[in-house]
Structure 1
Amino acid sequence: MGMQRDIRSYAAENITLRLKYLKKRVINYTQAYNPIRPEVFLDESYCNEHHVSSLTWLPVGKSAERFTPSGRGRRVCILGTGFLYYNAIGKRLIGNGWMVG
C-alpha cells in the first residue's frame, strides 16, 4: 500500500540536475535560511468541466444520471503565484501574498 516514487527520479542525470538546482537555490539564502531576493512560487492545476467527487450527492431519479463522462469536455486551468520577501538582514518578513495580474 502507499505511493511509490517514480524510478526515473533516481536516474543519475536527474540526481545531477537536482543537485545543480539546489546549489543555485542555496546561494539566494542567508544563514537564517531566508531568501535574499524575493522568490515567486508558481502553481498550476487543471480541472475537467464534468469532474465530480466520487462521494458527490446527486438528485434522485433520471436527472441524476451523468450525461458526459468525467474526463470529457473543456478543461479549466487554474494558475496562482505567491511570494515571500524578507528585509535585507533576513530576520523579518516584510511581504507575502498572491500576485495579481
Structure 2
Amino acid sequence: MFDLNGIAPAIRDFVVKQNMAGQPITALHVCNEVADVCDAQLKVDTMTRVLHELGFRHIKGEQRHIYAETPGNVAFRRTYLEKKIANRAAVRGPKLGTKRSVRLGVDRAEVYLDESDCNVNHVTGKTWLTADKIRYSKTGRGARACIIAAGIIKSKGAVLTGFFLLKIPSRFGIPL
C-alpha cells in the first residue's frame, strides 16, 4: 500500500519538471520516478488512477508557441496578398482550350521561395498535464530534413510561363 500524501509532491514535481523540459510524460515514467524517490512500487494502472485523482489529465494540451495568428502576422499576410493581387494584369490572347480572349497574367515576374523543416521523429501527441493544459515542447526530435522549393511565374506575351525547383537532401531517402 502507498500513502498518497507522501508521493503526491514527488509526482507533481516530476510532471512539472518534465513538462518544463519539453519531455513527454507517461504513467510508466512517473512510476519509475516514484519508485526512485519514494521507494513506492506502483503499477501503471494504479499510477494512472493516482494521476487523475491529483488533477492531471492525459491530453494533447495547448501548444505554448503559436505565432501564425498573431496580429503582426495577420497584418503582414494582408499586405502581402494585396501586393500579389495588385501585380495581376489582364493579358490579351486566347487561353489554351478556351475561346476567352482576356485572362489574368502578371505585370512583373513573381518569385516564390519556400524552406520547410520536417523532423524525422515526431514527439508523442499526448502527455500528462496540469489543469492549465499548457505543454512546453520542443519543435521535434532527431534529424531534421530541410525541404527547399523555388518557383517563378511570369507572363510572356499572352502565355503564362513558370519554373519550379524542389530540393530534398538525398540522405532522407525521398525519391524525386
Bin the TM-score by the shorter chain.
0.3 to 0.5
- Which protein has greater RCO, CA pairs closer than 8 Å, 6+ apart? 1
Q: Which of structures 1 and 2 has the bigger CA Rg?
A: 2
TM-score (structure 2 length as normaliser) = 0.31
Q: Which structure is higher in helix share?
A: 2
